[in-house]
Amino acid sequence: MSLAILHAPPGRLVDISASAPPRDRTSRTQKALDHCKAEWSNAYQIAQEKGLPATKALRMAQVAYKLALPKLDGLPAIRAHIAAVAQGVALEVFTGRDASQLLYAAQVALTLQQKGTKK
């Protein structure tokens, strides 16, 4: 940038402005919810295209949804994980046992996160 100013002809203005693309203001939680739904739909569609029975297609979609859950590596990610589990319960992706185990894991991660910030 400074070289452009130094090597510009005298009396000539140099435009060195830059424009950034618009910032994505979608929340991490919404991105996680969308990602989980998209992975579920993609897996279900692939299973249907392969001609698998509906029960196997649903099982593949459930596994894809679980694999797409956000990792529990920070407070925003933990919140996104909890929201994605709640959405999975509403969409009948999880059984009651699966959901309770995932929510318990989020609770443990949240507790550890809070203890880490108090030090």
Whole-prediction pTM: 0.76
**Would you say residue 61 lies in a domain?**
yes
Asked if 77 contacts 28 with a C-beta cutoff of 8 angstroms, the reply is yes
**Would you say residue 6 lies in a domain?**
no
Going residue by residue through the chain, which has 119 residues, state the pLDDT in tens, using 9 for 90 and above. Answer: 455 555 656 666 556 666 778 888 888 999 999 999 999 999 999 999 999 999 999 999 999 999 999 999 999 999 999 999 999 999 999 988 999 999 999 999 999 988 877 65
Separation CA 32–CA 19 (nearest Å)? 28
pLDDT at residue 10, as a whole number: 63
Asked if 83 contacts 29 with a C-beta cutoff of 8 angstroms, the reply is yes
Domain housing 72: 27-118
**Would you say residue 13 lies in a domain?**
no
**Would you say residue 54 lies in a domain?**
yes
**Would you say residue 7 lies in a domain?**
no
**Would you say residue 103 lies in a domain?**
yes
Rounded (10°) CA dihedral 35, 40, 44, 47: 80
pLDDT at residue 95, as a whole number: 86
User: What six digits make up the tokens of 59?
Assistant: 């099982």
Q: Environment class of residue 110 by beta-carbon count within 10 Å: exposed (0-12), middle (13-18) or buried (19+)?
A: middle
Domain count along the chain: 1
**Would you say residue 21 lies in a domain?**
no
**Would you say residue 19 lies in a domain?**
no
pLDDT at residue 99, as a whole number: 95
